[in-house]
């Protein structure tokens, strides 16, 4: 598949680089936070101290209803990289680590508490086309920093289109945010350096030292604010009075905020701030309460708004896109095609992915077309849902179904399943058709015998 992609895009790359660029293609930075909830930001919740993200918000367009199709570590990463719903790759859960070095010998894994025992793939298949591979065809240099969690060494970023990787391990999360961060495999560590600072310093050094003529794409995928909840010591006093665990978490959020500010400052000092696009988002909802949204990372309601909805800010140098909010439902699968249109300055079409480009909407040229957004994960009773504009249907293995109007009830307290029966039936049928389409491509794997 990758070979066909490269051949099909070679001529386009040549033509773009010789005729259509009226100006230099922009640099791109994707800041991808782990377990950072929709409510875990200062401009929406004054509990958190995030002055740099607040400033970025003032200079960005925010998609206020951004969702993750499988709100869990590994599937979320697979989706953002490929523009595909992760379940299309048979990835319905996070990748587990079965060996002491964080690797895994098995293609699929199972989850003991999963009521239907669905197999989930343990790596991002190499044949999948990542945004790094696609951007390379448009002349971009791709640098990766941080958490991968899409398979061990043979499946690491440098084998998936990235030109370099830094701070990447086999592990899904650190054992501490102070050294030593991991059991093995991280690389150079300075004594006492907070993990978020380590990745930030590597990223800002890359920006300062970058001397290539080609544009760059930086993917900084933070390990924070995933547990263990160990806050940066210098920020703990900002959260005095909170329960200890929330105090630690708040200090982690502020460390990410500090990172955002330092990266923007590095761009400015290098003279790149006027030609760099920044995307800030998260892989899934937060660990702590996301009220008034329902649900979150834990508690059996991860497909609730608090678990599946995440922040997303997109900053461009064009001030006409600043201080704007769009409440049309979008997904992180839309980032891949958006990057393609940023890089190519052409309309991007790819029937092999489910994401759609948001670039024309960001530029104010057109609205997002109505569509259904589908969700699935496989840990517990709640397993699938569909969003159609303001409506949201949620399904459970036990047979339970719920229906909410998110525009009127973002807390999902008023179940309308037995009231709005026509809407419920339409969404049920659509979700069932989608499920059957997804299942038809899955490899049959028997669960282990206990």
The domain at 375-439 falls in which architecture? 2-Layer Sandwich (3.30)
- Angle, helix 51-58 to helix 244-270, in steps of 10 degrees: 50
Pairing of strands 382-388, 330-331: unpaired
Q: Which fold has domain 2-17+25-372?
A: Alkaline Phosphatase, subunit A (3.40.720)
Can you give the pLDDT at residue 116? Answer: 97
pLDDT score of 20: 35
Predicted pLDDT of residue 184: 76
Q: Could you give the 3-state DSSP secondary structure of residue 172?
A: coil
pLDDT at 113: 96
User: Which residues make up the CATH 3.40.720.10 domain(s) of the chain?
Assistant: 2-17+25-372
pLDDT for 185 equals: 75
CA-based Rg of the chain, rounded to a whole angstrom? 21
Report the C-alpha gap between 273 and 276 in whole angstroms: 5
| Residue 257 CA to its chain's centroid (Å) | 17
pTM for the model: 0.94
Q: What is the pLDDT of residue 448?
A: 87
**Paired tokens of 149:** 């969690």
Pinpoint the residues of the chain covered by CATH 3.30.1120: 375-439
Helix runs in 145-295, H state only: 195-209, 244-270
Where are any strands of DSSP class E within 215-318?
216-221, 276-282, 309-310, 312-315
Q: Block means of pLDDT (10 residues each) for the chain, length 450 residues?
A: 50 42 83 99 98 99 99 99 99 96 95 97 98 98 98 98 97 96 86 98 98 98 98 98 98 99 99 98 98 97 99 97 97 99 95 97 93 98 98 98 98 99 99 98 90
């Amino acid at each position: 598949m990758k070979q066909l992609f490269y051949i099909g895009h070679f001529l386009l790359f040549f033509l773009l680089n010789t005729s259509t660029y009226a100006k230099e293609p922009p640099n791109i930075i994707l800041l991808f936070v782990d377990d950072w909830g929709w409510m875990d930001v200062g401009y929406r919740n004054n509990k958190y101290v995030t002055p740099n993200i607040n400033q970025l918000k003032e200079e960005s367009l925010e998609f206020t209803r951004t969702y993750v199709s499988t709100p869990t570590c590994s599937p979320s990463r697979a989706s953002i990289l490929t523009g595909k719903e992760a379940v299309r790759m048979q990835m319905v859960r996070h990748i587990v680590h079965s060996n002491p070095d964080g690797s895994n010998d098995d293609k699929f894994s199972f989850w003991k508490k999963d009521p239907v025992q669905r197999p989930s793939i343990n790596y991002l298949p190499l044949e999948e086309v990542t945004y790094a591979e696609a951007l390379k065809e448009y002349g971009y240099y791709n640098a990766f920093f941080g958490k991968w969690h899409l398979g061990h060494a043979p499946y690491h970023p440098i084998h998936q289109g990235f030109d370099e990787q830094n701070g990447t391990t086999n592990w899904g999360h650190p054992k501490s945010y102070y050294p030593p961060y991991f059991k093995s495999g991280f690389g150079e560590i300075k004594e006492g350096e907070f993990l978020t600072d380590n990745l930030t310093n590597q990223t800002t050094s890359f920006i300062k030292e970058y001397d290539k003529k080609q544009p760059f794409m930086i993917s900084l995928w933070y390990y924070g604010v995933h547990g263990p909840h160990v806050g940066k010591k210098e920020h703990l006093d900002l959260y005095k009075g909170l329960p200890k665990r929330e105090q630690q978490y708040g200090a982690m959020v502020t460390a990410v905020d500090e990172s955002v500010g330092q990266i923007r400052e590095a761009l400015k000092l290098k003279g790149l701030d006027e030609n760099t696009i920044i995307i800030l988002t998260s892989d899934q909802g937060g660990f702590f309460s996301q009220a008034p949204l329902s649900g979150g990372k834990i508690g059996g309601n991860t497909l609730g708004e608090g678990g599946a909805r995440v922040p997303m800010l997109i900053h461009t140098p064009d001030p006409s896109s600043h201080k704007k909010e769009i409440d049309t439902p979008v997904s992180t699968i839309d980032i891949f095609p958006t990057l393609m249109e940023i890089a190519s300055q052409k309309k991007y079409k790819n029937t092999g992915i489910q994401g759609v480009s948001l670039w024309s909407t960001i530029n104010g040229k057109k609205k997002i077309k109505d569509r259904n957004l589908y969700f699935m994960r496989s840990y517990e009773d709640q397993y699938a849902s569909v969003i159609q504009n303001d409506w949201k249907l949620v399904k459970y293995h036990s047979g339970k179904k719920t229906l909410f109007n998110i525009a009127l009830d973002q807390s999902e307290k008023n179940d309308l399943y037995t009231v709005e029966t026509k809407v419920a039936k339409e969404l049920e049928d659509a979700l069932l058709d989608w499920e059957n389409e997804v299942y038809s491509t899955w490899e049959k794997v028997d669960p282990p015998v206990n």
